[in-house]
Amino acid sequence: MVKNYVLEITLISAQGHKEPSSKLRRMQTYAFAWIDPSVKLRTCVDRVGGGNPTWNDKFLFKISSEFLSSQTCGVSVEIFAVGVLGDTLLGSVRFLLSNFLPPGSAFKAVKTPSFDAVQVRRRSGRFHRVLNIGATVLGGANVPAMNSSRHQ
């Protein structure tokens, strides 16, 4: 029997973003998080943190027990810098939930979130930044607003 859950992801902060050489303005960053690329959720823009942004934005994703049982279930995140002529991708990361959530939590709600720092990759593939995240699995009945078809 397939059960529904809610995955709560918190994009807390990031460290190690290189500031632009021009000191005319401070770097402003935001991030997208998704499970399915057709439904990407965006953080607010951090306007004061520069190379070490803080968002503390929570995202809720409707997921199934089948999704949680997959060894490859994960969340993707891309971090962007706001630009005058267009935004620039600073880096991306995909973290597996099986490595992130406490052992044995795949088929039950977890009341306490797990926190971790994951390495962010540049476009070149090299690691150079850190993203601080939190995650927890909630029972679907605990979040009535998740009945919307907008979330997966």
The CA-based dihedral angle spanning residues 129, 134, 136, 141, taken in that order and rounded to the nearest 10 degrees: -110
Cα separation of 109 and 140, whole Å? Answer: 9
Q: Which two tokens stand for residue 67?
A: 């999704």
Cα separation of 29 and 75, whole Å? Answer: 19
Among 27, 124, 134, 22, which Cα is nearest to 75's? 134
Among 88, 86, 121, 77, which Cα is nearest to 20's? 88
The tens digit of pLDDT for each residue in 125-135 reads 788 789 999 98
- In Å, what is the CA distance from 142 to each residue of 9, 69, 109, 137? 16, 21, 10, 11
From the candidate CATH numbers 1.10.645.10, 2.60.40.150, 3.40.50.2020, 3.40.50.300, the one assigned to the domain spanning 4-136? 2.60.40.150
**Mean residue pLDDT across the chain:** 81
Determine if the pTM surpasses 0.85. Answer: no
The tens digit of pLDDT for each residue in 7-64 reads 899 999 999 866 655 565 678 999 999 999 999 999 999 999 888 999 999 999 998 8
Q: What is the pLDDT of residue 150?
A: 41
Q: What is the pLDDT of residue 152?
A: 41
Q: What is the pLDDT of residue 5?
A: 85
Cα separation of 125 and 92, whole Å? Answer: 9
Name the band, by pLDDT with cuts 50, 70 and 90, for residue 68.
Answer: confident
- Stated length of the chain: 152
